[in-house]
Amino acid sequence: MRKVAVVLTLALAVAFAAFWFVTAPEQAGATVSEGAPDLDNGRTVFFAGGCASCHATPDQPDRTLLGGGHALASPVGNFVAPNISPDLQHGIGAWTQEQFASALLKGVSPRGRHYYPAFPYTAYQHMKSEDVRDLFAFIQTLPATGQTNPGHDFPLDLAIVRRGMGLWKLINFRGEPYDDPAADPQLVRGRYLVEALGHCGECHSPRDITGAVAEDRLYAGGKLPDGDSVPNITPGKGGIGEWTQEDLVFFFEDGTTPEGDVTGGEMASVIANTSQLPEADRQAMAAYLKSLPAREAP
């Protein structure tokens, strides 16, 4: 009996050590860009990345007031977006560029903990380091607010679950820089805007069993946590095959579909971002969506 207990204890200890080892947050290595930041580009990255959709203080008009507090529903409970305004105490005013880069590119906090992927770093991991630098500098110019928010609202928000996100990342997260072999610079830009920044696939794709976006059916249509379906945005059936590139550009500018409907809900908040982008960027996003292989909605 005692022998069994010893063996079991040892096995558990080994399993735990293995868990601890493989889930270790990788903190170092988020590249930082030298040189003076370009604030105009930082603003573009901010809107292309849709940071305001989650981090802007709800129920007030200023999308650059990043007090947080927006609740994100998920099957396991609600995540609450934190304050990322330049407030020294309650926001990220005291952060270094390295810490900011680790958060966006590695999903790791300054205290060395994993973030939950409700923060879409699975997309942002592909950001260019100059864009991270410019975005960080731009956020530092925005109004600071000392707003505090309630914590995440789900029963499993425990240190061990956070640590366990390391396992999820092992399967779903590579942290590789974004590299696109496609030759056409407009399509390269479009893919970067849609995938690395706009995280459009987070809503517009089905998910696999681990809750990650199903790579082979990217953009084929998805479901919001409340069960509402999100349209296919490939040229496949039920998708944007009938839309012209200009239709899409117009949609990204003011949210009106070719049928003359004005988009609502979650997509309205996305349009509030894409409407702030340079025209050439809306064109690039539209060209990229039109170039996607036709995929069928699940």
Alpha-carbon distance 80 to 68, whole Å? 7
Q: Does 149 help bind ligand HEC (rule: CB under 6 A)? A: no
For 125-128, the CB contacts below 8 A with 24+ separation are 125/173, 125/174, 125/175, 125/176, 125/196, 126/176, 126/177, 126/178, 126/192, 126/195, 126/196, 127/45, 127/49, 127/178, 127/196, 127/197, 128/177, 128/178, 128/192
End-to-end CA distance of the chain: give it in Å, rounded: 53
Q: What mask of x and - would describe binding to ligand HEC in positions 171 to 210, judged by CB under 6 A?
A: -----------------------x---xxx-xxx------
Q: Does 49 help bind ligand HEC (rule: CB under 6 A)? A: yes
Among residues 50, 166, 206, 235, which is the contact residue for ligand HEC, using CB under 6 A? 50
Among residues 23, 37, 47, 55, which is the contact residue for ligand HEC, using CB under 6 A? 55
Contact range with ligand HEC by CB under 6 A, out of 11-19, 56-64, 142-150, 257-265: 257-265
User: Smallest distance from the beta carbon of 203 to ligand HEC, in angstroms?
Assistant: 3
Q: Does 115 help bind ligand HEC (rule: CB under 6 A)? A: yes
Q: Does 37 help bind ligand HEC (rule: CB under 6 A)? A: no
Alpha-carbon distance 69 to 112, whole Å? 23
Q: Does 240 help bind ligand HEC (rule: CB under 6 A)? A: yes
User: Smallest distance from the beta carbon of 16 to ligand HEC, in angstroms?
Assistant: 23
Largest CA distance in the chain: 75
Q: Does 27 help bind ligand HEC (rule: CB under 6 A)? A: no
Q: Is residue 114 within 8 Å of 166, Cβ to Cβ?
A: yes
Q: Which amino acid is at 199?
A: H
Contact range with ligand HEC by CB under 6 A, out of 24-32, 183-191, 267-275, 276-284: 267-275
Contact range with ligand HEC by CB under 6 A, out of 3-11, 35-43, 117-125, 175-183: 117-125
Alpha-carbon distance 128 to 179, whole Å? 10
Q: How many CA atoms within 13 Å lie on the side-chain side of 233?
A: 26
Applying CB under 6 A, which residues contact ligand HEC? Answer: 49-51, 53-55, 72, 79, 81-82, 84, 92, 100, 103, 109, 115-116, 118-120, 124, 135, 194, 198-200, 202-204, 230-231, 233, 240, 248, 251, 257, 263-267, 270, 274, 285
